[in-house]
Structure 1
């Protein structure tokens, strides 16, 4: 049973604060006294791949505004200019016009050849960045333009190029099989120092092509312990703290806490291929038995949103386009035995599974739980070894578009089809959504595909999670990004 944070003994909070004392002393070259305050950031996960942009570490580079991409996304997921100012499509090829007056942090010029080099390194990496999973991509320079060509016509190329994993770095970053982003980006802050998995430092880049950063630099500390991160905000040791645990958010000054709906849905995937949930009426019975509101209140302490569908409030157009779904009638479980799997890597998952066990047993199922570390359970769930699986799943992946997630999870040949789901009509709806050009028509097709999945009860969406971020008094302009691509921008500073 989880002990609420407000009942934790005071020494635990004090100890967490002590862990951070002195850890935000400036390691950058900027003169903080003469040119404003450096921004102290406490982050959840340390680098896993030496801050290579070809890994998930790319999102750290993006959140520090040091590495940039050709394209960025607006709040609706539409592609907007960044290092590229415009683009046109001709069949399988997209031609991007590059921004003038850009330099890398090492002083070298931002050129079409540099863009081709970065994109080629990503496209030929092993493994590839996940945004290019299943995508064959080549790039060619022509003056101040770069033409990107894919093996098949792809309406999402601009959105793909917005992924932090396709950041454009100077040639010096690429040394053999490694990618070193220190001093190699184009953003308003230059990465100057990385201390393994403990800290990093960035200084303002005064030759930035856009608006000059308002802060002289950023000092980053990696703090995996959630209690310690919260304590850093409470004690004044950190200015910005990411990923505050729900258990800690309630005991902080609420004026310092911001919650933003994120494109992440906590879902119960039901095995439609074998076992109890091969029967659509028993899938319906499970869906009707689940009380998501009580899970939001009990596990998330109200800091999440009850799901109406697979796509949540982080995509406001989803609610606007969603239509009622006709589902099967619920059958009688009559003591059917089921096994629900989940993982320990996210602390709330075992709690949710325990709540589901109680709810489904009350409805007439006999429920067993199997809870392990994700690395030890993924192969079994992909192989269909469970009747149901609880997963916290990002719904827009790296492109900012949910069609790829829906296809991956619910197409007959989907690469992450935990429900072992196969339905020809659903496949047609998913393919239509994937192939439709970006815009209102694509969004409508996506919602039709969502409705087709929900009608079959292949999965039961329960809740949508929120980003919980702490900003100390005096912090101005910190980004609150549901996609977690931005955190400190050129406009962020500390009074």
Structure 2
């Protein structure tokens, strides 16, 4: 007898949960229960790629476990707030940071200006550099026991935001040995990383010498579970307390009170080639825009677990909607059977299905549509070279600085390095330059939205939806973070009842 799809999914979840039993047993030094409470069991999607080096994307794991910290944090609006640095001021190309006093690394050494100089210099001279420092030259010097100056080649109004990147975490001198960076026992956060078992698991214990609020939980036990069905099963069976990135296909099968949908700063966009027929014609770009039913894509492909896009910047940026203005656009022309080839990639499971839906919608409007779907590594160069009439991309809209200007410039500036639309529009370039020159804060955000409007006026990009990530939290979990930027997860306030 053939099981219905939903029944089959439940059967798979049940069988996987049996296999997972024991995977989340405590591996740290703290007790599982008792006066100190329970250790927090976390199932994460991606295993470490670079031995948990903070100079790689593994840095975001260290940040989400509250073990490695930066000089600066970001608030919900993307503005800089104190962390290991309590204050800062700018003088031309130089910024001066005052460090928090009485901070101790997990290895017992003190946070000093020299320790910060060492950590930031290691990052600035790494090969490859952390991506937040692409095109940025830093000269870091100690100007006092608790004062550090950072000088850039050109004035950089976003330097504090850059220093909030987890890839610029401050570790003790013991972490930097030869060509490797070892975060075990060298952070400043509420939890000390005590053990890493390759790509399978990691353990952290509460650090009682933490400068901030003492952690409520005695420790964290992390297991890396790349398979989405297995992660969902771990939540369903009670094997994990916190589960990262539950697949949309599994979310409906779980107790809905245990999952939270977090809006991501990521937009699924159809890029139209403005230098190649037929989309060099603004009228036909407008016709494509009017043909697209984004709500049908959200409901059909994402099962309602995404947000229909009103612009390039979505609800993960809480200020964007209120500052958005409707751009003046071209009038739609008649496709009259124009043939277009849409490219996309298989690495994100939803995109091929999005492409098929778009194919049907555009054909209904009068276009003839061909699809070309490959792995991302085999299609990126052709997309950047303008080989396709259109390209579907799921794109992060704020990078490590928490600011969208870098994304807008990269994708839509005439000199942008990721300009799939091949757009070269003076009004867009002017708006981007004005946004990039503003200091962080309300004026910059207003300028950013003017730049978004300038891009949307060209119809070079048609934003369709903003993605969400589904996070699973067991019923007894308290104080867990749901962070759109994926920098926070377990903090001092997190514990299991």
Confirm or deny a common fold (TM above 0.5): yes
What SS is found at the alignment partner of 1:277?
coil
Q: TM-score, normalised by structure 2?
A: 0.97
CA distance in 2, matches of 1:393, 1:117: 33
Match of 2:263 in 1: 261
What SS is found at the alignment partner of 2:279?
helix
Any residues of structure 2 matched to 1:8-23 within 5 Å, and which? 8-23=8-23
Any residues of structure 2 matched to 1:102-117 within 5 Å, and which? 102-117=103-118
Q: 2:364 aligns with which of 362, 365, 376?
A: 362
Match of 1:308 in 2: 310
Closer, same or farther in 2 for the Cα pair 1:340/1:246, shift >3 Å? same
Structure 1 residue 465: Cα displacement? 1.0
- Using the TM superposition, name which of 451-460 and 27-36 deviates more: 27-36
CA distance in 2, matches of 1:9, 1:158: 46
**Are 2:55 and 1:65 equivalent residues in the alignment?**
no
Contact 1:341/1:389 (<8 A) preserved: yes
Structure 1 residue 6: Cα displacement? 2.3
Per-residue CA shift, 1:225-253, capped at 9, x if unaligned? 11111110000000000111111111110
Contact 2:76/2:318 (<8 A) preserved: no
What SS is found at the alignment partner of 1:433?
helix
Match of 1:81 in 2: 82
Match of 2:443 in 1: 441
Contact 2:38/2:495 (<8 A) preserved: yes
What SS is found at the alignment partner of 1:103?
coil
CA distance in 2, matches of 1:490, 1:226: 27
Contact 2:9/2:250 (<8 A) preserved: no
CA distance in 2, matches of 1:102, 1:37: 27
- List structure 1 segments (4+ residues) > 6 angstroms apart after TM superposition: none
Contact 2:283/2:333 (<8 A) preserved: yes
Structure 1 residue 32: Cα displacement? 2.5
Structure 1 residue 9: Cα displacement? 4.8
Match of 2:176 in 1: 174
CA distance in 1, matches of 2:316, 2:310: 13
CA distance in 2, matches of 1:275, 1:7: 48
What SS is found at the alignment partner of 1:88?
strand
Match of 2:188 in 1: 186
Structure 1 residue 8: Cα displacement? 2.3
**Are 2:382 and 1:380 equivalent residues in the alignment?**
yes
CA distance in 2, matches of 1:446, 1:20: 46
Match of 1:486 in 2: 488
Any residues of structure 2 matched to 1:260-299 within 5 Å, and which? 260-299=262-301
Q: 1:453 aligns with which of 452, 455, 477?
A: 455
What SS is found at the alignment partner of 2:383?
helix
Contact 2:191/2:205 (<8 A) preserved: yes
Per-residue CA shift, 1:367-390, capped at 9, x if unaligned? 111111112211111111111111
Q: TM-score, normalised by structure 1?
A: 0.98
CA distance in 2, matches of 1:213, 1:375: 42
Structure 1 residue 31: Cα displacement? 2.1
What SS is found at the alignment partner of 1:200?
strand
CA distance in 2, matches of 1:336, 1:122: 50
Matched pairs, number:
493
- Using the TM superposition, name which of 67-76 and 416-425 deviates more: 416-425
Contact 1:4/1:247 (<8 A) preserved: no
CA distance in 2, matches of 1:54, 1:24: 28
Per-residue CA shift, 1:302-332, capped at 9, x if unaligned? 1111000001111121111111111001111
Match of 1:162 in 2: 164
Structure 1 residue 275: Cα displacement? 2.9
Unaligned 5+ segments in structure 1 are none
Any residues of structure 2 matched to 1:311-460 within 5 Å, and which? 311-460=313-462
Match of 1:239 in 2: 241
RMSD of Structure 2 on Structure 1 (CA): 1.2
Unaligned 5+ segments in structure 2 are none
CA distance in 1, matches of 2:9, 2:49: 32
Structure 1 residue 7: Cα displacement? 4.1
Structure 1 residue 467: Cα displacement? 2.2
Contact 1:5/1:251 (<8 A) preserved: no
What SS is found at the alignment partner of 1:208?
coil
Structure 1 residue 4: Cα displacement? 9.1
Structure 1 residue 125: Cα displacement? 1.2
CA distance in 2, matches of 1:5, 1:55: 39
Match of 1:132 in 2: 133
Closer, same or farther in 2 for the Cα pair 1:5/1:199, shift >3 Å? farther
Per-residue CA shift, 1:249-308, capped at 9, x if unaligned? 111101101112121111111111223211111111111111000001011111111000
